[in-house]
Amino acid sequence: MKHLPFFIVTGLSGAGKSVAAAALEDAGFFCIDNLPLDLLPKFLELPIARDADIAGFAFVMDTREKGFAARQESVLSRLRGQGIHFEILFLEAEEGVLVQRFSETRRRHPLARDRELTAGIRAEAEALRPIRDAADHVVDTSALNVHELKARILEIVRRRRAIAPMHVQVLSFGFKYGLPLEADLVFDVRFLANPHFVPELQPLDGEHERIRRFVLENAEAAEFLDKALALIDFLLPRYEREGKSRLTLAVGCTGGRHRSVAVARRLHEHLSSRQAAVGLTHRDIHRPEETAEAARRACGCGGAS
């Protein structure tokens, strides 16, 4: 446990600690919200092995616990005296912004149970002044939206160590079965030559080498892939910079069995050479395949292909 980095996330109520915890969790940190101060040393004594899937730990601690402000200095000093390194992330916001946030959410301020909201905000700021002064990072969230705050937190964490990369899921599907709800980007490849109408290719699916050659080895497909891959390479680091933890790239053709599968596999190969966390799913590849003749009759195109 001593070798895993961890953050103590604290600060003013309404300043965005829950958003910061969510950003850390997306970055691969194991997060515990509202951990009692006395349990922190005991938790750190647990024989937790280094796990490749855990980037570190984050503990959200604040004035929801009575006595936190008065006792945090002695507890944290004792931990540092034991050689345990941690960083304090303190979030704050302007008084007027905090008043507006509490008015919008209608939540009760922990120090305003028997007094005016502004009095509770001021009392909390005064009580937390020592830990603010000792904080490694102070973030004013007054002018930040949720996405900007997540990006700021991730920027702080990246300075500390490499964090969990954004997971990219490549998904092939058939439009006739509906758009996948989880898709962030959708590529429609129904303009590509369709092996469904070639009798000897129809029984195969897009993972077969003959289908891949039929779909991908032509000038039109090559131009599409060049442009699609360039767009993806441009977008991914920007999505990751924004704090997105998961991105789904969906590739669709009519039935989700041939063209979309072949193209999705090609996108997956490209991304796997650049991204550590990439998955591939063929949603509709195993759905019953109708015959070419039935498809022609259904679309009313006679013998045309």
Instruction: Say yes or no: 195 and 237 in one domain.
Output: yes
Instruction: Say yes or no: 150 and 191 in one domain.
Output: no
- Measured CA to CA, the distance from residue 70 to residue 66 in angstroms comes to 9
In a domain, 1, yes or no: no
Instruction: Say yes or no: 205 and 110 in one domain.
Output: no
Instruction: Say yes or no: 13 and 113 in one domain.
Output: yes
In a domain, 184, yes or no: yes
- Measured CA to CA, the distance from residue 136 to residue 8 in angstroms comes to 10
In a domain, 31, yes or no: yes
Domain boundary at 92, 127, 160, which?
160
Instruction: Say yes or no: 153 and 235 in one domain.
Output: no
For the domain that residue 99 is a member of, what is the CATH number?
3.40.50.300
* pTM above threshold 0.75: no
- Residue 66 is encoded by which pair of tokens? 């009575």
| Adjacent-strand bridge partners of 6 | 57
In a domain, 304, yes or no: no
Domain that holds residue 245: 167-299
In a domain, 305, yes or no: no
Helix (H) or strand (E) holding 101: helix 95-105
Instruction: Say yes or no: 153 and 172 in one domain.
Output: no
Report the side by side order of strands in the sheet with 278-282.
185-188, 246-253, 167-174, 278-282
Instruction: Say yes or no: 210 and 232 in one domain.
Output: yes
Q: Point out the least confidently predicted range of 137-146, 180-189, 241-250, 292-301.
A: 292-301
pLDDT 10s digits, 26-50? 888 889 999 999 899 888 887 665 5
pLDDT (0 to 100) of residue 295:
45
CA atoms within 13 Å, Cβ hemisphere of 11: 27
pLDDT (0 to 100) of residue 180:
93
pLDDT score of 13 more than 60 = yes
Domain boundary at 105, 140, 160, which?
160
pLDDT 10s digits, 202-234? 999 999 999 999 999 999 999 999 999 999 999
Instruction: Say yes or no: 247 and 276 in one domain.
Output: yes
- Residue 30 is encoded by which pair of tokens? 């194991």
Instruction: Say yes or no: 143 and 279 in one domain.
Output: no
Domain count, the chain: 2
Instruction: Say yes or no: 154 and 116 in one domain.
Output: yes
Instruction: Say yes or no: 18 and 155 in one domain.
Output: yes
Domain boundary at 128, 160, 192, which?
160
In a domain, 222, yes or no: yes
pLDDT (0 to 100) of residue 154:
85
In a domain, 42, yes or no: yes
Termini Cα distance of the chain: 63
pLDDT 10s digits, 119-144? 999 999 999 999 999 999 999 999 99
pLDDT score of 51 more than 60 = no
pLDDT score of 97 more than 80 = yes
Instruction: Say yes or no: 143 and 12 in one domain.
Output: yes
